[in-house]
Protein backbone atom coordinates (compact mmCIF):
# COMPACT_ATOMS: atom_id res chain seq x y z
CA UNK A 1 0.00 0.00 0.00
CA UNK A 2 2.85 2.36 0.87
CA UNK A 3 4.48 1.80 -2.56
CA UNK A 4 1.15 2.52 -4.26
CA UNK A 5 0.89 5.87 -2.48
CA UNK A 6 4.30 6.91 -3.70
CA UNK A 7 3.37 5.97 -7.26
CA UNK A 8 0.09 7.87 -7.01
CA UNK A 9 1.83 10.93 -5.59
CA UNK A 10 4.48 10.81 -8.33
CA UNK A 11 1.78 10.50 -11.01
CA UNK A 12 -0.21 13.44 -9.63
CA UNK A 13 2.95 15.53 -9.35
CA UNK A 14 3.86 14.75 -12.98
CA UNK A 15 0.36 15.61 -14.21
CA UNK A 16 0.41 18.92 -12.32
CA UNK A 17 3.86 19.78 -13.68
CA UNK A 18 2.77 18.99 -17.25
CA UNK A 19 -0.40 21.04 -16.81
CA UNK A 20 1.58 24.04 -15.52
CA UNK A 21 4.03 23.76 -18.41
CA UNK A 22 1.17 23.61 -20.94
CA UNK A 23 -0.57 26.60 -19.36
CA UNK A 24 2.69 28.56 -19.46
CA UNK A 25 3.31 27.59 -23.09
CA UNK A 26 -0.22 28.63 -24.11
CA UNK A 27 -0.18 31.91 -22.19
CA UNK A 28 -0.08 35.02 -24.34
CA UNK A 29 3.47 36.33 -24.64
CA UNK A 30 4.22 39.61 -22.92
CA UNK A 31 4.19 42.57 -25.29
CA UNK A 32 7.53 43.45 -26.80
CA UNK A 33 8.59 47.10 -26.74
CA UNK A 34 11.27 47.89 -29.29
CA UNK A 35 13.28 50.95 -30.26
CA UNK A 36 14.43 51.17 -33.89
CA UNK A 37 16.96 53.80 -34.93
CA UNK A 38 16.47 54.32 -38.66
CA UNK A 39 19.88 55.94 -39.19
CA UNK A 40 21.88 53.08 -37.71
CA UNK A 41 19.28 50.40 -38.55
CA UNK A 42 19.61 49.13 -34.99
CA UNK A 43 16.80 47.52 -33.00
CA UNK A 44 16.69 46.85 -29.28
CA UNK A 45 13.69 45.41 -27.43
CA UNK A 46 12.69 45.81 -23.78
CA UNK A 47 10.28 44.23 -21.32
CA UNK A 48 8.30 47.40 -20.67
CA UNK A 49 7.31 50.48 -22.65
CA UNK A 50 8.89 52.60 -19.89
CA UNK A 51 12.27 50.95 -20.49
CA UNK A 52 11.93 51.47 -24.25
CA UNK A 53 11.07 55.17 -23.84
CA UNK A 54 13.95 55.67 -21.41
CA UNK A 55 16.32 54.06 -23.92
CA UNK A 56 14.95 55.97 -26.92
CA UNK A 57 15.29 59.30 -25.09
CA UNK A 58 18.67 58.41 -23.56
CA UNK A 59 17.21 58.73 -20.07
CA UNK A 60 15.46 62.08 -20.56
CA UNK A 61 12.05 60.45 -19.95
CA UNK A 62 12.03 57.74 -17.30
CA UNK A 63 8.46 57.93 -16.02
CA UNK A 64 6.53 56.70 -19.09
CA UNK A 65 3.80 54.15 -18.41
CA UNK A 66 4.80 50.49 -18.22
CA UNK A 67 2.46 49.68 -21.12
CA UNK A 68 2.32 51.49 -24.46
CA UNK A 69 -1.47 51.28 -24.23
CA UNK A 70 -1.38 54.10 -21.68
CA UNK A 71 0.42 56.68 -23.81
CA UNK A 72 -1.44 60.00 -23.68
CA UNK A 73 -1.12 63.39 -25.36
CA UNK A 74 1.01 64.69 -22.50
CA UNK A 75 3.59 61.93 -23.01
CA UNK A 76 3.43 62.36 -26.80
CA UNK A 77 4.16 66.07 -26.34
CA UNK A 78 7.07 65.24 -24.02
CA UNK A 79 8.48 62.79 -26.58
CA UNK A 80 8.29 65.46 -29.29
CA UNK A 81 9.90 68.05 -27.00
CA UNK A 82 12.64 65.68 -25.77
CA UNK A 83 14.05 65.59 -29.28
CA UNK A 84 14.81 69.30 -29.21
CA UNK A 85 16.58 69.35 -25.87
CA UNK A 86 20.26 70.16 -25.58
CA UNK A 87 22.34 67.04 -26.01
CA UNK A 88 19.49 65.04 -27.55
CA UNK A 89 20.92 62.13 -29.51
CA UNK A 90 17.72 60.93 -31.15
CA UNK A 91 14.43 62.27 -32.43
CA UNK A 92 11.22 60.38 -31.68
CA UNK A 93 9.51 59.96 -35.08
CA UNK A 94 6.49 57.81 -34.19
CA UNK A 95 5.24 54.63 -32.55
CA UNK A 96 3.42 51.68 -34.14
CA UNK A 97 1.38 49.12 -32.18
CA UNK A 98 0.29 45.56 -32.95
CA UNK A 99 -3.23 46.07 -31.59
CA UNK A 100 -5.85 48.75 -32.02
CA UNK A 101 -6.20 51.46 -29.39
CA UNK A 102 -2.43 51.48 -28.88
CA UNK A 103 -2.27 47.98 -27.43
CA UNK A 104 -0.04 44.96 -27.88
CA UNK A 105 3.60 45.35 -28.73
CA UNK A 106 5.05 48.77 -29.55
CA UNK A 107 7.90 49.90 -31.76
CA UNK A 108 9.33 53.39 -31.21
CA UNK A 109 10.88 54.77 -34.39
CA UNK A 110 13.82 57.14 -33.88
CA UNK A 111 16.49 58.85 -35.97
CA UNK A 112 19.24 61.40 -35.54
CA UNK A 113 17.05 64.11 -37.09
CA UNK A 114 13.35 64.76 -37.57
CA UNK A 115 11.13 64.85 -40.65
CA UNK A 116 10.24 67.74 -42.89
CA UNK A 117 6.49 67.26 -42.10
CA UNK A 118 5.09 65.80 -45.28
CA UNK A 119 7.63 67.39 -47.59
CA UNK A 120 9.04 64.21 -49.08
CA UNK A 121 10.06 60.83 -47.70
CA UNK A 122 12.59 61.18 -44.90
CA UNK A 123 12.98 57.58 -43.72
CA UNK A 124 11.73 54.13 -44.60
CA UNK A 125 12.15 50.66 -43.19
CA UNK A 126 10.79 47.16 -43.59
CA UNK A 127 8.88 45.78 -40.64
CA UNK A 128 10.08 42.45 -39.32
CA UNK A 129 9.28 39.90 -36.68
CA UNK A 130 6.13 40.53 -34.68
CA UNK A 131 5.57 43.90 -36.39
CA UNK A 132 5.36 42.55 -39.97
CA UNK A 133 1.71 42.29 -41.02
CA UNK A 134 0.46 43.20 -37.55
CA UNK A 135 0.30 47.02 -37.19
CA UNK A 136 -3.15 48.16 -36.04
CA UNK A 137 -2.63 51.63 -34.51
CA UNK A 138 0.03 54.33 -34.45
CA UNK A 139 1.17 57.54 -32.78
CA UNK A 140 2.66 60.28 -34.92
CA UNK A 141 5.33 62.34 -33.20
CA UNK A 142 7.86 64.19 -35.37
CA UNK A 143 6.70 62.65 -38.66
CA UNK A 144 3.67 61.59 -40.60
CA UNK A 145 3.65 57.81 -40.99
CA UNK A 146 2.89 55.92 -44.19
CA UNK A 147 2.13 52.19 -44.03
CA UNK A 148 2.79 49.98 -47.07
CA UNK A 149 1.46 46.45 -47.54
CA UNK A 150 4.65 45.14 -49.20
CA UNK A 151 8.37 45.34 -48.37
CA UNK A 152 10.50 48.23 -49.57
CA UNK A 153 7.60 50.71 -49.44
CA UNK A 154 5.76 49.19 -52.36
CA UNK A 155 2.20 48.07 -52.98
CA UNK A 156 -0.88 49.61 -51.41
CA UNK A 157 -0.24 52.38 -48.89
CA UNK A 158 -1.99 54.83 -46.62
CA UNK A 159 -0.63 58.02 -45.02
CA UNK A 160 -1.41 59.03 -41.43
CA UNK A 161 -0.89 62.64 -40.44
CA UNK A 162 -2.13 62.20 -36.89
CA UNK A 163 -2.26 59.63 -34.11
CA UNK A 164 -4.69 56.88 -35.11
CA UNK A 165 -6.30 54.34 -32.76
CA UNK A 166 -7.18 52.02 -35.67
CA UNK A 167 -5.44 52.17 -39.05
CA UNK A 168 -8.56 50.95 -40.84
CA UNK A 169 -9.52 47.69 -42.49
CA UNK A 170 -7.46 48.22 -45.69
CA UNK A 171 -4.16 48.45 -43.70
CA UNK A 172 -4.91 46.60 -40.45
CA UNK A 173 -2.45 43.71 -40.01
CA UNK A 174 -1.13 44.22 -43.56
CA UNK A 175 1.83 46.61 -43.29
CA UNK A 176 5.22 45.18 -44.24
CA UNK A 177 7.06 48.48 -44.52
CA UNK A 178 6.73 52.02 -43.26
CA UNK A 179 7.86 55.43 -44.45
CA UNK A 180 8.22 58.59 -42.39
CA UNK A 181 7.26 61.84 -44.11
pTM: 0.80
How far is Cα of residue 161 from the mean position of the Cα atoms in its chain?
19
What does the pLDDT read at residue 19?
47
pLDDT band at 6 (very low <50, low <70, confident <90, very high): low
The mean per-residue pLDDT over the stretch 106-132 comes to: 89
The mean per-residue pLDDT over the stretch 92-106 comes to: 95
What does the pLDDT read at residue 26?
54
Q: What is the per-residue DSSP string for 84-150?
A: TSTT---EEEEEEEEEGGGEEEEEEEEESS---SSSS--EEEE--GGGTT---EEEESSS-EEEEEE
Question: Distances in Å between the alpha carbon of 17 and those of 4, 6, 11, 49, 161?
Answer: 20, 16, 10, 32, 51
Amino acid sequence: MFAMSRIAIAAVTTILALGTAAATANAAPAPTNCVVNLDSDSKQCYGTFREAVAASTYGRITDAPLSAKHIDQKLADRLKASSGTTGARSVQLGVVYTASNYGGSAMILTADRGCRNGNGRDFETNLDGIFDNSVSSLTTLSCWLELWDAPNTSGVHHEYQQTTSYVGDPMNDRASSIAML
